[in-house]
């Protein structure tokens, strides 16, 4: 057994950052190869499907494909952009909070969302940038100079992530026996939707008061492409007795997870796993944590309900009622429903997603 904070494999750590400790429980997520998935390798595609049914999270090794390597390069550039972005004064950043206009794009300051039913507040700030804005199919939102100057890098990162999303959707489409292109036709690059990049920053927390930085949730959309360097992300495996485990960040890999839309489209066959962000473990807890995310969502007008045309997707049961809600309304309800600055009384449950199904506990 290694001592606290030590590491066995230098390649499993990020240069310049304190190592992820070896003595905390981690999720045994599958590591899939982008090169193999792009080549249509049947075993790798089957592993992707398995991971999507069982846990809804997997690592994607980007190092064995030219596309993946260039996405890693774009992610590196945006980590630097993110650091500069959050260096702006709070006063300036707040001018880009558009939530009062019912928009989830722009800045969210630290401590504006509840992380649990007790009303404890979050400990991170983030900034959401709309894909539609960056590719010029919606009116541009006001943005700080550092974001205006990096629109090209953002577009490249968004497109690169969207290619990964489309690949995952096409493999799932095939495995679900859906008519060809069913899923990708609900996620067209140049159609209006909620796709976004999120820059995240969480400062180190006081040693004697380390808490959840981002409350437990399932992602709202379809497929998430996440870049982590410091630990802190945790998932709750299925089952009544499950305990939170860390997802160890791996250099050269993205973390891919499915969101609520995939659960609704497949009537619970695919899984959108509950996750949260805790303070980074061990000596990592003294460092500032940045992360970078690409969230894909079904196009705005898509209704989030069971898809027709598959013999594998379970039918709607007799006593089951599907909510009539569009992708756009779902995301607004989930993204803004727990903001203490927008609502006097927070109905924590009303802003919930598919968490209950995610637990896979039969009642």
Q: Which spans of this chain sit near Fe ion (rule: CB under 5 A)?
A: 219
End-to-end CA distance of the chain: 40
Distances (CA, A) of 242 to 57, 184, 268: 16, 33, 19
Tell whether residue 200 is a contact of ligand AKG (CB under 6 A).
yes
User: Residues in contact with ligand AKG, total (CB under 6 A)?
Assistant: 11
Window contacting ligand AKG (CB under 6 A); options: 87-95, 99-107, 135-143, 226-234: 226-234
Partner from ligand AKG, Fe ion, none contacting 158, C-beta within 5 to 8 A by type = none
* Upper half-sphere CA count for residue 177 (Cβ side, 13 Å): 7
CA 28 to chain centre: 18
- Nearest CB to ligand AKG, comparing residues 45 and 223: 223
Which residues does residue 260 pair with via DSSP β-bridges, in sequence order? none
- Nearest CB to ligand AKG, comparing residues 48 and 277: 277
Kindly state the smallest distance separating residue 59's Cβ from Fe ion, in Å: 16
Place of tokens 């943005």: 143
Q: Could you give the angle at the alpha carbon of 271 between the alpha carbons of 133 and 14, nearest 5°?
A: 65
Kindly state the smallest distance separating residue 214's Cβ from ligand AKG, in Å: 6
For ligand AKG, the binding residues in 129-158 under the rule CB under 6 A are: none
Whether 203 and 85 have beta carbons less than 8 Å apart is answered as: no
| Rounded-to-integer distance, Cα 94 and Cα 235, Å | 31
What the block records as the tokens of 264 is 């609704």
Tell whether residue 214 is a contact of ligand AKG (CB under 6 A).
yes
Kindly state the smallest distance separating residue 48's Cβ from ligand AKG, in Å: 20
Q: Specify burial of residue 146 (Cβ count, 10 A radius: 0-12, 13-18, 19+).
A: middle
Window contacting ligand AKG (CB under 6 A); options: 1-9, 36-44, 225-233, 265-273: 225-233
The SS3 assignment for 257 reads strand
User: Dmax of the chain from CA atoms?
Assistant: 56
Strands 31-33, 57-61: pairing is parallel
Per-residue contact string for residues 255-294; x = within reach of ligand AKG by CB under 6 A: --------------------x-x-------------x-x-
Give one DSSP letter per residue of 136-191, joined into a string.
Answer: TSSPPPP--HHHHTTHHHHHHHHHHHHHHHHHHHHHHHHHTTPPTTTTGGGS-TTS
Figure out which of the listed residues 161, 219, 246, 285 binds ligand AKG, where binding follows CB under 6 A: 219
- Nearest CB to ligand AKG, comparing residues 46 and 286: 286
Figure out which of the listed residues 233, 236, 270, 304 binds ligand AKG, where binding follows CB under 6 A: 233
Kindly state the smallest distance separating residue 114's Cβ from Fe ion, in Å: 16
- Nearest CB to ligand AKG, comparing residues 261 and 293: 293
Footprint of ligand AKG on this chain (CB under 6 A)? 198, 200, 214, 219, 226, 228, 233, 275, 277, 291, 293
């Amino acid at each position: 057994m290694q001592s606290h904070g030590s590491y066995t494999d230098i390649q499993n750590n990020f240069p310049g950052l304190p190592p992820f400790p070896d003595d905390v429980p981690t999720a045994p997520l599958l590591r899939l190869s982008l090169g193999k998935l792009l080549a249509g390798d049947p075993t790798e595609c089957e592993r992707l499907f398995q991971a999507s049914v069982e846990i809804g999270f997997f690592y994607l090794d980007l190092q064995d494909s030219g596309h993946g390597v260039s996405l890693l390069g774009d992610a590196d550039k945006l980590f630097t952009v993110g650091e500069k972005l959050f260096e702006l004064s709070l006063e300036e950043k707040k001018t880009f909070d558009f939530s009062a206009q019912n928009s989830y794009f722009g800045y969210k300051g630290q401590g504006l969302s509840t992380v649990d039913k007790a009303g404890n507040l979050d400990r991170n700030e983030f900034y959401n940038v709309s894909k539609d804005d960056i590719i010029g199919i919606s009116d541009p939102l006001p943005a700080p100079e550092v974001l205006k100057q990096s629109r090209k890098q953002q577009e490249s990162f968004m497109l690169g992530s969207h290619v990964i999303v489309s690949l995952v959707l096409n493999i799932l489409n095939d495995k679900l026996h859906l008519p060809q292109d069913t899923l990708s036709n609900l996620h067209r690059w140049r159609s209006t939707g909620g796709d976004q990049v999120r820059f995240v920053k969480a400062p180190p927390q006081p040693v004697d008061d380390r808490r959840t930085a981002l409350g437990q949730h399932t992602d709202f959309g379809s497929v998430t492409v996440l870049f982590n360097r410091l630990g802190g992300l945790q998932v709750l495996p299925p089952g009544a007795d499950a305990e939170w485990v860390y997802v160890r960040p791996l250099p050269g890999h993205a973390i891919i997870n499915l969101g609520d839309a995939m659960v609704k489209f497949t009537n619970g066959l695919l899984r959108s796993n509950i996750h949260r962000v805790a303070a980074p473990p061990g000596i990592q807890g003294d460092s500032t944590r940045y992360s970078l995310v690409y969230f894909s969502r079904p196009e705005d007008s898509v209704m989030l309900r069971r898809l027709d045309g598959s013999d594998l997707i379970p039918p709607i049961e007799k006593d089951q009622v599907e909510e009539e809600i569009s992708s756009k309304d779902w995301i607004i309800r989930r993204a803004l429903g727990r903001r203490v600055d927008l609502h006097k009384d927070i109905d924590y449950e009303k802003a919930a997603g598919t968490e209950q199904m995610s637990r896979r506990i039969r009642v």
